[in-house]
Amino acid sequence: MRHRYSILFFPLHVFVDFLSLNTAFVGAYWLKFGIIDPVFEPPYATLLWVFNLIWLAEILLFKPYIFPRQLFKADHLIKKMLLLMAVHIALISLYWVAIKGYYYSREHLFITYVLFAGLGAAFRLGALIFLREYRARGYNNRKYVVVGYGKLATTIRGFYDAHPEMGFHFYGYFDQPTAENSDLLQGDYDKLTAYIQANRIDCVYCCMPYIDNSRLKTIVDDAELVDYQVKLLVDFRGFLAKGASVEYHDFLPVLNLSSQMLADFRVNTLKRAFDIAFSFAVLTIGSPFFMLMAIITWITSRGPVLYAQERIGRDGKPFTIYKFRSMYVNAETSGPVLSAGEQDSRITPWGRFMRQTRLDELPQFYNVLKGDMSVVGPRPERQFFIDQIVEVAPEYRTLLKVKPGITSIGQIKFGYAANIEEMVQRLRYDLLYPERRSFLFDMWIIAQTVRVMMQGRGK
């Protein structure tokens, strides 16, 4: 039988977790009360049974000990354990309230979970270290071959060569011989099945760009007879980075290459609700402050209080953005020019202060309320500058898939840009946003923006 010891991992994992749970429960009782015997009598004996039954139910429901070798990593194992513990704590809390078990010591429960987390993490880390060493010595390994030679085939081999702790040993490439690859192949397709049987190969990686469907079907059909796994390698990396998703038409998987991920309904709905509530609150509560800002702007530099300018929003749609005027009137009579920063003579003294504290951006909450902008998002630019940016950094088009914002990572980390080169540098920060955006991430960016405003570090 292949890998006869691997089947023991699951029951061992279950046993150790139950042992850790019960040891933590009893140990916490001893630490709290200094004795052990009462823990095996009601009411704590009943609670101990509930502890074990809930953990058993979680194992049956979530199947937490079934994962591929690629996910057998410390962070993944501990995160999964903590997630199970969180569910366990929630269910125990419901049980406690339902039976009105206020006679149970909360300190005992707290110590139990601390001990359980420590024991569980120690076991997982110990098992991980043991398996890595065990596999490094040549045990508990998997043998694999790659069918279809090309860049993708060498990539998967390079991955396993770089991660010997996973225990995958390479046994050769198989493909139709050509002048370029004949010296690199273990054999052609006709020799594959015999080679798998002779060398007891565990896994066959099939590279879809280099193998046709008829040969793939033969490999899959033979897998049941010869007892090996078949895994398909398809290079979606370039597409997935742009937000591709998989749809299922009955049993047929379809790769959607449009950036629908960026228009995720749940994220956008929550984000828009927050934008409306936050903007309405700022405009309502801050109206006296806005009036004061307008008066100071008018007194320090005669001319319009607000500055309106066309910017490009989501999907390339133009809109009018509003700011408190920070430059002298007619500062751009010669055409679109970026600010030269603190040395720009077009900026008024009061305007310089507003830029340092980001106060000139406050009227844009009206743009947010209208739906042209969001509170958090990449800064919108003029078409004149977008055309120049795209020539240097075509990836800027990615930012046009999300709604622009009042503040962004680029605004926090870099600030205002004085030329195209600096705009591209700021772009590197803003490109992080579409992939990482979430409600909590938006809250972090807003908090950092407030800090910059309070410290007057905007440039």
pLDDT along the chain (459 residues), means of 10: 57 91 96 94 94 93 71 78 93 91 92 96 88 75 90 87 83 90 88 92 89 88 88 70 58 60 62 90 90 92 89 91 88 62 76 86 92 90 87 83 88 78 83 79 87 71
Pair 85, 114: CB distance under 8 Å: no
Pair 243, 260: CB distance under 8 Å: yes
Look at residue 384 in the predicted model and tell me its pLDDT. Answer: 87
Pair 187, 172: CB distance under 8 Å: yes
Quick one: tokens of 271? 């984000």
- Strand-pairing partners, residue 256, are 245
Pair 329, 298: CB distance under 8 Å: no
Main-chain phi, psi angles of 43, to 5 degrees: -90, -10
* Chain centroid, CA 98 distance in Å: 37
Quick one: tokens of 4? 């006869």
Q: What share of the chain is helix, strand, coil (3-state, %, to 5)?
A: 60, 15, 25
The half-sphere exposure of 191 on its side-chain side, counting CA atoms within 13 A, is 13
What distance in Å separates the CA atoms of residue 88 and residue 82, rounded to the nearest whole number? 10
Quick one: tokens of 255? 């790769």
What distance in Å separates the CA atoms of residue 63 and residue 40, rounded to the nearest whole number? 29
Q: Could you count the other beta carbons within 10 Å of the beta carbon of residue 284? A: 8
What distance in Å separates the CA atoms of residue 307 and residue 360, rounded to the nearest whole number? 10
- DSSP-derived letter for residue 231 is E
Q: Which of 363, 397, 392, 357 is nearest to 378 (CA)?
A: 397
Q: Could you count the other beta carbons within 10 Å of the beta carbon of residue 381? A: 21
Quick one: tokens of 142? 């998997």
| E-only strand ranges, 325-419 | 374-376, 405-407
Please give the domain boundaries of the chain with CATH numbers for all domains: 6-136 (no CATH), 142-235 (3.40.50.720), 265-455 (no CATH)
Whether the ω angle into residue 43 lies within 30 degrees of 0, i.e. cis, is: yes
pTM of the model: 0.45
Which residues 6+ apart lie within 8 Å of 142 measured at CB? Answer: 3, 69, 167, 168, 169, 202, 203
Please name the residue ranges forming H helices in 178-329.
Answer: 192-199, 213-226, 237-240, 265-285, 287-300
What distance in Å separates the CA atoms of residue 366 and residue 321, rounded to the nearest whole number? 9
Look at residue 201 in the predicted model and tell me its pLDDT. Answer: 93
Look at residue 1 in the predicted model and tell me its pLDDT. Answer: 42
Length of the chain: 459
Look at residue 323 in the predicted model and tell me its pLDDT. Answer: 92
Identify residue 425 by its one-letter amino acid code: Q
Q: What angle do CA 154, 158, 160 make, to 5 degrees?
A: 125
Main-chain phi, psi angles of 145, to 5 degrees: -125, 160
Pair 186, 145: CB distance under 8 Å: yes
Pair 109, 93: CB distance under 8 Å: no
* Chain centroid, CA 259 distance in Å: 16
Q: Which of 92, 79, 103, 97 is nearest to 24 (CA)?
A: 92
